[in-house]
Amino acid sequence: MAHQIVIVLDFGGQYNQLIARRVRECGVYCEVRSYKTPLSEIKALSPSGIIFTGGPASVYLESSPTISEEIFGLGVPVLGICYGCQLMAHLLGGKVTCAPASEYGKTETYYDRSGVLFGAVNGLPEKAVTWMSHTDYIEKAPEGFRVTAHTECCPTAAMECPEKKLYGVQFHPEVNHTEMGSDIINSFVKNICGCTGDWTMKGYAQTAIASIREKVGDGKVLLALSGGVDSSVAAALLAKAVGSQLTCIFVDHGFMRKNEGDEVEAAFKDSGMNFIRVNAKEQFMEKLRGVSDPETKRKAIGEEFIRVFEREAKKIGKVDFLVQGTIYPDVIESGTGDAAVIKSHHNVGGLPDYVDFKEIIEPLRMLFKDEVRALGRELGLADVLVDRQPFPGPGLAIRIIGEITDEKLLILQDADYIFREEIAKAGLDKDIHQYFAVLTNMRSVGVMGDGRTYDYTLALRAVTTTDFMTADFARIPYEVLEIASSRIVNEVKYINRVVYDVTTKPPATIEWE
């Protein structure tokens, strides 16, 4: 079934896939493409709308990302966001220059609600907070454009030319900090592009299953099953698509949380799927011996994962395809197009150059975490799997700062178990989207039993988020933190200090490494 589609053209911003997520929330299918995509390919997709993303460059520099002006003559509505808005203005004869004052973060913005884009947003006030992030600004809008929003520092916070179906906003409506930002995007895709909202997880599942069957044929499939949400949903999807042709291999690298390897095995061994557990801690520890750099850790773990799968594949006969539960945030943070690499995920940037499979299948690659959960429910997965909090593929290896040792693993497993137990006892486990402990490489002086200690500092991390692209630290009651801290320093050897991370994402990431 063909769906209406909105194309997001990526100009190098770090959180551009959030735009796609907001479009999908409107029930409209959306794909992200590079700004370098040939115009002929864009036309062949017959998009109902096109959105230009933000980006770090200045549009007036020769080296900056740009696009052919022909795109504005396709008759397809275009919405430019931040850099995309400036690019539209620059290409069409407006003036973009370095702003006398940069705007970052929450900014009061004044709307002209008589415009087409904002006029269709029910309840939009004349003044509201938007999220800005720019050093350049549109000093003069192109001829034929009307300015529809401004701030104290930015004369053109939004502009539009309805006759040419061109719209632009200097702020970022895709982030949660922009009040009614999702409503503004909904106004563009529904009222301006005329999209009806015909894309659902049920439809996605049907399309994905059909696509997998066509690709796999009668071939054998190996799935990297970690027991987390992403790989569990991928397993359910593949099981429906190819049945007994699928073998799920759970590689226990030794970096799981306390008792978790056994829990994963218990959840899947009687599921009807072909399930194999491989205990590979010794191999992974050998690969990481003497390694402290987090990027080196991730890449080493990614490569060893593949090598283990290759060895297991040979044991069960010729396997044509490897399936991974890679999702959009993994891809974004590993660097795509002109976007910067934040950290290489073991299943993306950590993959080796050569992989001994016909092809790697990633059926969740275009989905965000909340969409993956919705797909899991559509496929009939149990809530205990669908609602499981995220756990990184490299596991505790990237929650131990510095070199990994058996001693450090035991320390962190015990401390993390206590923290998670106290969060659950306090009834906060449903409200906090991710919470865990990090063993730092810092030691400090302490006092226990009237004696001096010189032991590790443990960091606790807990965040609330809807998309895992941005996150806020969880406001855990002091009494809960006090109980967790007291238990950890009294029950776990070699820890004498506990700290709580109160940093948002950005500027930090959720994980420490």
Q: What is the CATH number of the domain that holds 234?
A: 3.40.50.620
> What is the pLDDT averaged over residues 40-53?
96
Same domain, 180 and 256: no
In the structure, what pLDDT confidence band is assigned to residue 334 with cuts at 50, 70 and 90? low
Same domain, 224 and 98: no
Write out the DSSP string of 221-268: EEEE--SSHHHHHHHHHHHHHHGGGEEEEEEE-S-SPTTHHHHHHHHH
Residue 398 lies inside a defined structural domain of this protein: no
Q: Which whole number is the average pLDDT over 324-331?
A: 79
Token pair of 310 as six digits: 């290759």
My answer on whether 328 and 353 are in the same domain is: yes
* pLDDT per residue as tens digits for the range 204-253: 899 899 999 999 999 999 888 887 889 889 998 999 999 999 999 899 99
**Which one of 3, 90, 134, 172 is the catalytic residue?**
172
The answer to the question of residue 224 being in a domain is yes
pLDDT of res. 310: 80
> Domain limits at 444?
405-500
Domain at 24, CATH number: 3.40.50.880
Is residue 333 pLDDT above 60, yes or no? no
Hunting for tokens 């004696």 — which residue is that?
Answer: 451
Length of the chain: 513
Contact 350, 344 (CB under 8 A): yes
Measure CA 263 to chain center. Answer: 26
Identify whether residues 434 and 379 lie together within a single domain. no
Q: Is 331 exposed, middle or buried (0-12, 13-18, 19+ CB in 10 A)?
A: buried
- Do residues 232 and 385 make contact, with C-beta atoms less than 8 angstroms apart? yes
pLDDT score, position 343: 38
Number of structural domains (the chain) is 3
What is the value of pTM for the model shown? 0.68
Residue 105 in any domain: the answer is yes
**Which of 168, 192, 216 lies at the terminal end of a domain, its last residue?**
192
Asked about 433 being catalytic, the answer comes back as no
| 54 and 100 assigned to the same domain | yes
Q: How confident is the model at residue 355 (pLDDT cuts 50, 70, 90)?
A: low
Model pLDDT, residue 228: 82
Domain match, 368 and 220 both: yes
Tell me what the mean pLDDT of segment 36-51 comes to. 96
pLDDT at residue 354 is higher than 50:
no
Whether residue 397 is contained in a domain is answered as no
Does residue 342 register a pLDDT over 60? no
- C-beta separation of 461 from 436 below 8 A: yes
95 Cβ partners below 8 Å, 6+ apart?
Answer: 89, 138, 139, 140
Catalytic residue among 3, 26, 30, 82: 82
If asked whether residues 236 and 113 sit together in one domain, one would say no
Joined together, the tokens standing for residue 474 give: 């969880």
Which band of pLDDT confidence, cut at 50, 70 and 90, is reported for residue 4? Answer: very high
Active site residue 174: yes
pLDDT for 495: 96
Given this model, what pLDDT does residue 306 score?
81
- Which of 144, 165, 192 is the endpoint of a domain? 192
Point out the catalytic residue in the list 174, 260, 333, 371.
174
* Pair (225, 281) in one structural domain: yes
Rounded to the nearest integer, the mean pLDDT of the chain is 90
Do the domain assignments include residue 210?
yes
Question: What span, in angstroms and rounded, lies between the C-alpha atoms of 267 and 229?
Answer: 13
3-class state of residue 119 by DSSP: helix
Tell me the pLDDT band of 332, cut-offs 50, 70 and 90: low
**CA-CA distance, 393 to 302, in Å (whole number)?**
9
Examine residue 512 and state whether it is found in any structural domain, yes or no. no
Last residue of a domain, one of 386, 416, 451: 386
Reported as a single tens digit per residue, the pLDDT across 393-442 is 889 999 999 999 999 999 999 999 999 999 999 999 989 999 999 999 99
Q: Are residues 227 and 84 in the same domain?
A: no
Would you say residue 395 lies in a domain?
no
Q: Residues 331, 480: one domain?
A: no
463, part of any domain: yes
C-alpha separations of 135 from 100, 104, 170, 505 in Å = 8, 8, 11, 21
Residues 314 and 367 placed together within one structural domain of the fold: yes
Q: How far apart, in whole angstroms, are the C-alpha atoms of residue 425 and residue 481?
A: 12
pLDDT digits over 470-485, tens only? 889 999 999 999 999 9
CATH number for 439: 3.30.300.10
Is residue 443 domain-shared with residue 319, that is, in the same domain? no
Whole-number pLDDT of residue 113: 94
- Spatial neighbors of 26 by CB under 8 A, at least 6 apart, are 185, 186, 189, 190, 195, 197
Q: How confident is the model at residue 345 (pLDDT cuts 50, 70, 90)?
A: very low
